Structure 1
Amino acid sequence: MAPQKRGGVRKDVFAAESWYLKSLDAGDSWAELNLAMLYVEGARSFSADQLQDAIAILNVHAERGDGYALMTLGRAYAEGGGVATDPEKALSYFREAVQGQPMAAHTALGNYFYDGKGGAVDYDLAFEHFSVAAELGSTMSQNNVGWMYQNGLSVERDYEKAVSYYRSAIDGNFAGAFSALGILYREGWGVPRDYTEANRLFKEASERGDLSGKANAAWMMIHGLGMPENRTEGLALLEETATLDDHDGTYYLAVLLEEGEIVALDLNQAKALYRIAAEKGNLLAKAALKRLAK
């Protein structure tokens, strides 16, 4: 699934911190809020004291109805960024943010219900919110609506609609949509099967930092689909993406382990990797676990 997860420590986070601190010293009225948002969004990179101060600043701005502060607090309570996770508070902040930040808030609400943050997955509400955000121009939500049409979640499976939504997200340069459309070309779902086009899309996704694109390119390389077969390089690339917690890379590696293809057959390790991929939302991994449980 497309929801974006926060990464680890990045040098540009600290560069942004330095810039905002200079802006704050220069009297920039927005710098305080931007700095607080940076601390919470990059919670793994900063100290507990910095996060505590940031949450206090965000609360002040949220009480004034600032949409950015409300969205940041919602994400913090949904994911545990500087505060203990609290799904009910997250939901409240996202709903309050709809008026000021409708596109971002509906996207967040879609992710909230898709992931079952409140305790139960609700694909109907997820689709409803993603659809609103997609109409407002959210490329992430366009991608997610495409995903739901592709997999028949809340709606009847419709590959042609999935293709349309993925193309809209690609027009907005959303990296994950390149991978998603590449899979449709590889499988011939909603479009004629075209390995060359699939590989081009996976390459575009990889160049934009999408690990799923890299994992799918590795799968194509291992099996010689639209390119010369190169199992050694393909496996190394696949293992790299799995190590970086990409759910597609983890799933594909599990398939190889289950089938004893390229690597030694290891059903227990395959199951372990399927579980990891399933926890990250990979539907094929969930199906594999059900199959192996019989």
Structure 2
Amino acid sequence: MKRVTQAGICTLSADSSEYQRNETMKNWNHLPSGEIELTIESEAYLELAKDDLLIHQYDDARQALEVAVRSANPQAEYLLGALYEHALGVDRDKEKALLWYLRAANHGYAPAQTAAASLYLDGDDGQADYGEAYRLLTMAVQKEDADENDGSLSVDFPDPADCFDEDERWMAVQKGYAEYLLGWLHTAGLGVKIDSEKAISWIEKAAQKGFRAAVFELAQRSGYGIDRNAVWAKKAVEYGEYDPLISVALRYLEGHGTPEDSEKGLSILTALADKGIGSAQFTLAECLIKGKSMPKNADKALHYLSLTAQHSDAKLITGLGIALYKSEETEIDPDLAVKCLELAAAAGDDEALVELGNLYFDGAGDMAPDQEKAFRYYRQAAEKDVPSGWELVGYCLYEGKGAPQNRQEALSCYEKAAEQGLYNSYYMMGMIYGYDETLFNYEKAVSCFEKSAELGQTDALVRLGTMHLLGVGAIPSDQQKAFQYFSQAALADNSRGWEWAAYCHYWGYGTPQNRQKALQFYHKAAKKDSCHSQYMLGYIYGYDVTPPDYKKAARWFRKAARQGHSDAQLKLGFYYHHGRGVKQNYKTAFKLFTQAAAQGDATAMHNIGDAYENGYGVEKDEKQAFTWYRKSAELGNKWGMFGAGRLLFGGIGTQPNQEEGRRWINKAAKASLPDALEWRPQ
């Protein structure tokens, strides 16, 4: 059955429909006699149909039912409708199902009235008829026994097996389903006015008849009140469902929608946990760890977790261990996290070994990283054939973290992980074959990247693109194929795919040159925080459009500079030095030049020397000027050569040395620096 909603209220449960269907299909022999006098022939064919249904001979059952319904047999009409509704031996046909249900309903057969009402509630394309559904459901329940419970909370739960014979029990379930639906209609105001009291009354009547969906509804919906929830949650326990009662306990502990009563909540949880209910043991342990309305008690928590591990899913304990070292909602406690994860691993969750490795690899709280211990845990997970264990052992060996670097052994580990479908391992195998000098094999590299790409690793597409763009090993340069790979990565919204596709558009590699598309693609990559794309946008706006847009250029240079892009730091420093697109500020320029110089930028080193020589944003210091010019010159910067040569020739900031000075100035001149070509001794 579909879920019907109004004003945000869920009105029908798919589980209840499935439950009703299952009960119907399982209990053909328990149908009571109809209210009209039947012919002997009709009853005989009805019995034949029931026998056929029990052995799933639906076609034979249909033929027998078609004979039985000739004398207006309501049971046969109902069953024929069920065949069409559930597609048993016939094509699903809701119209025919409704026709037969209504015929049986008109003969006073309550299960058919309920079934017809369900179809009206399940109307496709907004064709539900809630009013008719309500009328039929009311008919289905109107013969309620006079001594039936009035729906108050003081409920005595009889066991249907003790109170009814098989036919009566089946009818009680059908009646419970009808009452449950009536309750929902009153809750949502569908076909009848909203009436919360009537809604609860009907649902409780259904629950008293053993209709489980009603029991669970009353046990779990907080709007019914904690007292009613508690009563029916205890009933749900009789059906082997403990979660509703555990939820009630947590609400008492946390005061969610009810006055806090930690003593009552703890009592419920403890009673269930001591009975061996794993979910209660786990919940109680979690409360003791987090201190939910009770003092923290790690030892007691571990006791209950150890009990949980004996018969419950150890992954729950793994999840708790993970939360203890990296969840923002749980206080970080790496020592307790280790104990939880070790307990989970001992209980059979091999993934807990991986998490132990992750905890030690990165460290947490007061626990410092211990990559050697992390590697040992990864190795244990790998030995148990955990795919991520093999991959992480491969990573450690590839990078030399926690173990001596060994690319050959890393390759072997990645192969084992790749065989189990980890696409990143194929990617790393491609990296080894494609870029490691001792293991280089371009054919294997391409094959691995292709497999990784097929499994969804878009970075592999970028690698394939760069290999074909530049040519690797025996792979000749193929710019068109490279552009295709970059475009595939871009369509998958890979930032480096956008960036490389933009590069191809900018220079016309593998596609006609199109600076406008390049600009568009660089924007997409820049929005994903690609600092090089941010730099390129600054470059295009500042140097490659007419007229230049220095403000936009400065804005993009700033974004890239903040991410440590040295060229962006250099150019933004130049903008601040000259007041281009920003307000002139020598101090800010000097700071940016210093950042770029720290990354080895020779031009930035020259600019620092220039700042010291002329007092731009810093106090004049000719010694520092010479030092920075010399650094720049030694890195091959022609401006640095000229600056160092001038100061050496004139003995400024250093001992005079005209010969050395001329040598540097001549180098700058050979590098075609106009100032050096035109220089004459003063």
| TM-score, with length taken from structure 2 | 0.32
| Matched residue, 2:603 | 215
The reply to whether residue 270 of structure 1 matches residue 660 of structure 2 is: no
| Matched residue, 1:7 | none
| Matched residue, 1:149 | 541
| Matched residue, 2:428 | 34
What pairs with 1:78-117 in structure 2 (closer than 5 Å)? 78-82=469-473, 83-117=475-509
| Matched residue, 1:52 | 443
CA distance in 1, matches of 2:520, 2:584: 31
CA distance in 2, matches of 1:88, 1:255: 44
CA distance in 1, matches of 2:643, 2:511: 33
Gaps of 5+ in 1: 1-11, 243-248, 275-287, 289-294
Question: Which SS does the other structure have where 2:417 is aligned?
Answer: coil
**1:37–1:69 Cα contact (<8 Å) kept:** no
Question: Which SS does the other structure have where 1:46 is aligned?
Answer: coil
**2:525–2:533 Cα contact (<8 Å) kept:** yes
| TM-score, with length taken from structure 1 | 0.69
Question: Which SS does the other structure have where 1:27 is aligned?
Answer: helix
User: Counterpart of 1:204 in structure 2: which amino acid?
Assistant: Q
Shift of 1:150: 1.2
Provide, for residues 5-43 of structure 1, a one-character-per-residue CA deviation record: whole Å limited to 9, x for no partner.
Answer: xxxxxxx98648747437426636332322313543xx3
The reply to whether residue 202 of structure 1 matches residue 596 of structure 2 is: no
| Matched residue, 1:277 | none
User: Counterpart of 2:411 in structure 1: which amino acid?
Assistant: L
Report the count of equivalent residues.
249
| Matched residue, 1:69 | 460
Residue identity over aligned pairs, in percent, reads 21
**1:103–1:136 Cα contact (<8 Å) kept:** yes
Question: Which SS does the other structure have where 1:189 is aligned?
Answer: coil
Shift of 1:184: 0.9
CA distance in 2, matches of 1:226, 1:136: 34
* Match for residue 163 of structure 1 among 554, 563, 566: 554
**1:91–1:109 Cα contact (<8 Å) kept:** yes
User: Counterpart of 2:459 in structure 1: which amino acid?
Assistant: Y
CA distance in 2, matches of 1:187, 1:232: 23
CA distance in 1, matches of 2:432, 2:550: 38
Question: Which SS does the other structure have where 1:156 is aligned?
Answer: coil
CA distance in 2, matches of 1:183, 1:145: 16
The reply to whether residue 125 of structure 1 matches residue 517 of structure 2 is: yes
Shift of 1:130: 0.8
Shift of 1:78: 1.9
The reply to whether residue 186 of structure 1 matches residue 574 of structure 2 is: no
Answer with 227-236 or 260-269: which moved more: 260-269
- CA distance 1:188–1:100, shift in 2 (3 Å): same
User: Counterpart of 1:220 in structure 2: which amino acid?
Assistant: I
CA distance in 1, matches of 2:457, 2:549: 38
Provide, for residues 154-195 of structure 1, a one-character-per-residue CA deviation record: whole Å limited to 9, x for no partner.
Answer: 453111111211222234444432222111112221122222
Provide, for residues 251-275 of structure 1, a one-character-per-residue CA deviation record: whole Å limited to 9, x for no partner.
Answer: x358769x9995334686224xx8x
User: Counterpart of 1:238 in structure 2: which amino acid?
Assistant: S
* Match for residue 531 of structure 2 among 139, 158, 164: 139
Gaps of 5+ in 2: 1-396, 650-660, 675-682
- CA distance 1:160–1:69, shift in 2 (3 Å): same
CA distance in 2, matches of 1:62, 1:32: 9
CA distance in 1, matches of 2:605, 2:583: 19
Provide, for residues 129-148 of structure 1, a one-character-per-residue CA deviation record: whole Å limited to 9, x for no partner.
Answer: 11222233322211110111
| Matched residue, 1:234 | 628
Q: CA RMSD in A?
A: 3.7
- CA distance 1:143–1:177, shift in 2 (3 Å): same
**1:123–1:154 Cα contact (<8 Å) kept:** no
